[in-house]
Structure 1
Amino acid sequence: MKGLLFIVQQSNIEKKMEEAPDNAYEIGVVIGSYLPFVVLAAIAYTIYYYNKKKRGSE
C-alpha cells in the first residue's frame, strides 16, 4: 500500500514540475514534498531523546 501511494505521489510531483510557471514554484514543490518526512523524523527523534533521558534518570 505504501509503495502504491509513493508511486502516485511521485507522478503528481513530476506533473507539477512540468506545469510549473517558474523555478520558484519547483523549489516550493520539492520543499513541500520533503517537509512532512523531515517533521516526522524530528518528532521521532524528540520522542526517542525524551525517553532515553527519562530512562537514564531512574
Structure 2
Amino acid sequence: MKSLIFFLQVNVEQKLKEAPDNQYQIGVLIGSFIPFIVLAGIAYALYYRAKKKEKKLK
C-alpha cells in the first residue's frame, strides 16, 4: 500500500511550471484529479451495494 501512495504522488506545481502550453496544464490538472474521482466512485458503489443488501435482509 505504501508503494501505491508513493506512486500516486506527483509534483503538480513543478509540472505546471514546465508545461509547454495551456492544454498541457489542463491535462495535468485533470489527470491529478482522476484517481480521486475513481476512488470516490468505487466508494459510492460499495456503499450503494451495502445499502441494497441491508434492505433485502429486512
The normalised TM-score by structure 2 is 0.79
Aligned identity (percent) is 56
Give the C-alpha shift of residue 26 in structure 1.
0.3
Q: What residue is the counterpart of 1:16 in the other structure?
A: 15
Q: Which amino acid aligns with 2:19?
A: A
Q: RMSD over aligned Cα, in angstroms?
A: 1.5
Aligned residues: 51
**TM-score normalised by structure 1 residue count:** 0.79
Q: In the TM superposition, what is the alpha-carbon distance from 1:52 to its structure 2 partner?
A: 0.2
Query: What are the Cα deviations for residues 5-58 of structure 1, in whole angstroms up to 9, with x where unaligned?
Result: 7xx64xx11110011000110001001101100000000000000010011011
Q: Which runs of 4+ in 1 moved over 6 A?
A: none
Higher relative contact order (CA 8 A, sep 6+): 2
